[in-house]
Amino acid sequence: MAKASALLSLFFLLFSFILGGTSVMANGQKSWCVAKPSSDQATLLANINFACSKVDCRVMQKGCPCFSPDNLMNHASIAMNLYYQAKGRNKWNCDFRGSGLIVVTNPSYADCIYD
């Protein structure tokens, strides 16, 4: 009986992963998408341009809460997360050609809130 229960649980997890693919953990833990620290400048800029062509990135404009620090790594992480959240937190919405990283620790800082 325990073996059948374990197989049923495994099947459910696989089925959920295949159908949903979202990065909200089984226990309801939220996830965010950030740029991998190893990403090069051209990749970060491409990610900003892509994400901001699909979602509203005004929060990282000068004078807005997520402008500082003013660097590509920070701005790419914000743009990538905005896209990831808007598209339903699917793991593929954080891929960005291998330059995205799903995290479970909230990357918010100061007044810059990662939703």
CA angle 66, 67, 69 (to 5 degrees): 100
Query: Could you give the C-alpha distances from 90 to 17, 65, 93, 114, in angstroms and in order?
Result: 10, 26, 5, 16
Domain count, the chain: 1
68-105 confidence digits (pLDDT tens): 999 999 999 999 999 999 999 999 999 999 999 999 99
Q: Measured between alpha carbons, how far is 35 from 71 in angstroms, rounded to an integer?
A: 12
Q: Is residue 4 in a domain?
A: no
> Does 15 map to a domain?
no
Q: What's the CATH number where 38 sits?
A: 1.20.58.1040
Beta-carbon count within 10 A of 11 CB: 10
Domain with 74 in it: 22-103
Kindly state whether residue 94 falls inside one of the protein's structural domains: yes
Determine if the pTM surpasses 0.85.
Answer: no
